[in-house]
C-alpha cells in the first residue's frame, strides 16, 4: 500500500500479511514538496521481483521501481511539455516489459485540464505519448482523473469533465488503438451531472461501464441522491446495455471498480450518510447489474471523511480494502489539528469485516414521488397509467403475486400509457415504475366481468 502523510510531506510504502500485520515499510521524505497518491498506481511486474509505483509530487509525476525489500531500484520524474502540472491516476501493465500511465495535465496558458496516455517500458523509457482534448472551452474546466483498461483494439479511458457553473459534470469514454490514437468518444450526461466513468472486462469480450449519476442537488443539506449508470460497451464504442441501478446513497463518489473471484463485481468510494458523516461504501453486483450486497465502512467513527481507494480480491473469495480517514474533530491528533490516517480492512465474500454479520440489500434513497394515476382500478379489459407532465424515460414492469414478471416495457417521452389485460388471470398485480429520478410501486386488481 502506497500512502502519504499530509503533515510531513512524505511517502510511505507498507507491506502487510493476510492477517493485516505490517511486515515491512519504507519512508521517503520529500521535505516541503506535496505528495499526492491515488491508491491504485502500484503493480508487481510480471516474471520479476520488482514493483512499479507512480504518484504526483508537486508539479511532475514520479515513477519508482522497488525491489522486494522496497529499496528504490530506479526512478523517473516527468512533466508533460507545455503543462503547468501533471497528475497520474491509473497504471496498467501492458506486457512483461511495458506499461501505460493515464492522468490529467493542466495547460500552462489557458487554465484548463486535458488527458494524457503514456506508454513506457519498465526501464522508464517513454515509448509514446498521446493527449486527448476536451472541446468545451471553459476556464478551469476540462478533463479530470483518467482510468485506463486494455481492449482488443487498444485501450479505453474513463474520464470525468468539470465545467464550473456553465454545465454539470459529464462522464466520457475514449477508445483508442494500440498506439493510443483516438478512435471514438462517448459522452454521458444529464441535467444534474455524471461522475467518473470506469470500465471492467467481461468474459464475453465486451466491457462493463459504471458512473455515478446525480439525481438531485441540495448543497445546504448535502442531500444529493444518486444512482449508478450501468451498461455494456464493446471495443468499437457500441453500447449494448444502458440502465440504472438505484437510486442509492447520497453524494456518491466512486473510486473502486473490481471483479471478484466469483465473476461478480464490486464498486465503492465515499458517501454522505448524514451531514458531517462521510463513510466509505462498497456494493457487490452481478455482471447484469443485479444487487448482491451493500455495506458502509468507516474508521473509528463516522463523523469524519472516510474514503475508499482500492479493493482487491483475495484467494479466500473475500476482499481487502484500503483507504484513508481524515480526523476532522481532532479525536486522535495529539496536536489538536486535522490529521489523516490510512486504513486496511479485510472482508469475507459477503462484505463482512466481523464474523456473522448479515447481508444487506441495496438501499434506495427516498426521492420526491412523481404524481401518477392508475385507472380504472379494478380493471377489466385495460387500464391507464398517466402522469401530469411528459416523462423523458420510464421503465415499466408488472409482476403477479408470485413475483413472476408478466409485462415489461421502456417508454420514451410519454404522458400516459394504456395496457390491455385481456387474457390476464384475475388477481392482484404490482406495477414497478422507474423514472430514473424515483421508483414507484402500485397495486392493481384485475377482475373479469
Does residue 224 surpass a pLDDT of 70?
no
Residue range 173-196: mean pLDDT, rounded: 89
Q: What's the confidence (pLDDT) of residue 339?
A: 61
Pick from 47-51, 107-111, 221-225, 284-288: least confident: 221-225
Percent of the chain with pLDDT over 90: 20
Q: What is the pLDDT of residues 184-195, one digit of tens each?
A: 999 888 777 787
The confidence score (pLDDT) of residue 241 equals 87
Which position has the higher pLDDT, 280 or 207? 207
Are the CB atoms for 295 and 351 separated by under 8 Å? yes
Residue 1 has pLDDT above 50, yes or no: no
How confident is the model over 432-439, as a mean pLDDT? 67
* 247 pLDDT tier (thresholds 50, 70, 90): low
All 3 cell numbers of residue 27? 519512508
What pLDDT sits at residue 276?
62
Q: What are the residues facing 137 on neighbouring strands?
A: none
pLDDT at position 182 is 96
Q: Is the pLDDT of residue 434 over 80?
A: no
Domain 2-347 bears CATH identifier 1.20.59: no
- 18, 279, 346, 364, 440 from 410: Cα distances, Å: 47, 35, 41, 21, 15
CA dist 42 → 53, 297, 368, 401 (Å): 4, 23, 43, 51
The residue extents of the domains of the chain are 2-347, 373-446
Task: Lowest mean pLDDT of 283-287, 327-331, 358-362, 395-399, name the range.
Answer: 358-362
Tell whether the model's pLDDT for residue 229 goes beyond 50. Answer: yes
Does residue 137 register a pLDDT over 80? no
Q: Mean of the pLDDT values across residues 393-403?
A: 80
If you count them, how many residues does the chain have? 449
For residue 25, what pLDDT is reported?
79
For the segment 363-380, the average pLDDT, to the nearest whole number, is 69
Q: What is the pLDDT of residue 235?
A: 92
Contact (CB, 8 A) for 158 and 144: no
Cell numbers describing residue 230: 450501468
Q: Is the pLDDT of residue 164 over 60?
A: no
175 in Cβ contact with 236 (< 8 Å): yes
Query: In the predicted model, what is the mean pLDDT of residues 231-256?
Result: 79
Each residue of 270-321: pLDDT tens digit? 777 666 667 788 888 888 877 788 887 776 555 567 778 888 888 878 898 8
Q: Tell me the pTM.
A: 0.73
Q: Which CATH architecture has domain 373-446?
A: Sandwich (2.60)
How high is the mean pLDDT of the chain?
79
Amino acid at each position: 500500500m502506497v500512502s502519504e502523510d499530509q503533515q510531513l510531506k512524505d511517502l510511505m510504502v507498507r507491506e502487510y500479511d493476510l492477517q493485516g500485520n505490517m511486515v515491512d515499510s519504507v519512508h521517503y521524505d520529500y521535505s516541503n514538496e506535496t505528495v499526492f497518491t491515488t491508491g491504485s498506481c502500484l503493480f508487481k511486474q510480471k516474471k520479476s521481483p520488482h514493483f512499479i509505483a507512480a504518484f504526483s509530487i508537486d508539479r511532475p509525476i514520479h515513477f519508482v521501481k522497488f525491489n522486494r525489500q522496497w529499496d528504490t531500484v530506479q526512478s523517473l520524474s516527468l512533466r508533460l511539455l507545455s503543462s503547468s502540472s501533471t497528475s497520474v491516476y491509473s497504471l496498467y501493465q501492458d506486457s512483461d516489459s511495458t506499461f501505460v500511465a493515464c492522468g490529467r495535465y493542466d495547460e500552462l496558458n489557458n487554465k484548463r485540464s486535458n488527458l494524457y496516455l503514456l506508454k513506457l517500458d519498465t526501464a522508464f523509457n517513454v515509448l509514446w505519448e498521446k493527449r486527448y482534448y476536451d472541446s468545451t472551452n471553459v476556464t478551469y474546466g476540462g478533463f479530470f482523473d483518467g482510468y485506463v483498461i486494455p481492449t482488443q483494439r487498444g485501450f479505453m479511458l474513463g474520464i470525468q469533465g468539470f465545467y464550473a457553473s456553465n454545465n454539470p459534470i459529464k462522464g466520457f469514454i475514449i477508445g483508442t488503438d494500440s498506439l493510443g490514437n483516438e478512435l471514438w468518444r462517448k459522452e454521458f450526461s444529464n441535467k444534474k451531472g455524471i461522475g467518473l466513468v470506469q470500465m471492467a472486462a467481461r468474459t464475453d469480450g465486451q466491457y462493463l461501464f459504471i458512473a455515478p449519476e446525480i439525481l438531485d442537488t441540495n448543497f445546504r443539506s448535502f442531500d444529493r441522491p444518486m444512482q449508478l449508470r450501468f451498461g455494456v460497451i464493446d471495443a468499437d464504442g457500441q453500447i449494448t446495455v444502458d440502465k440504472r441501478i438505484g437510486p442509492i446513497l447520497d453524494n456518491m463518489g466512486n473510486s473502486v471498480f473490481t471483479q471478484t473471484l466469483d465473476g461478480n463485481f464490486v464498486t465503492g468510494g465515499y458517501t454522505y450518510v448524514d451531514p458531517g458523516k462521510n463513510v466509505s461504501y462498497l456494493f457487490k453486483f452481478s455482471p447484469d447489474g443485479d444487487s448482491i450486497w451493500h455495506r458502509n465502512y468507516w474508521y473509528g467513527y463516522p463523523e469524519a471523511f472516510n474514503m475508499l481507494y482500492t479493493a482487491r480480491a483475495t484467494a479466500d473469495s473475500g476482499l481487502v480494502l484500503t483507504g484513508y480517514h481524515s480526523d476532522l474533530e481532532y479525536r486522535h491528533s495529539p496536536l489538536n489539528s486535522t490529521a489523516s490516517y490510512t486504513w486496511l480492512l479485510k472482508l469475507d465474500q459477503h462484505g463482512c469485516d466481523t464474523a456473522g454479520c448479515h447481508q444487506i440489500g441495496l438501499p434506495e434513497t427516498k426521492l420526491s414521488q412523481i404524481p401518477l394515476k392508475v385507472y380504472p382500478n379494478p380493471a377489466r379489459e385495460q387500464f391507464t397509467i398517466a402522469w401530469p407532465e411528459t416523462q423523458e424515460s420510464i421503465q415499466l414492469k408488472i409482476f403477479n403475486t408470485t413475483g413472476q414478471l408478466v409485462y415489461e416495457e421502456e417508454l420514451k417521452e410519454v404522458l400516459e400509457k394504456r395496457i390491455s389485460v385481456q387474457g390476464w388471470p384475475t388477481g392482484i398485480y404490482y406495477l414497478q415504475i422507474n423514472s430514473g429520478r424515483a421508483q414507484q410501486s402500485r397495486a392493481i386488481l384485475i377482475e373479469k366481468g
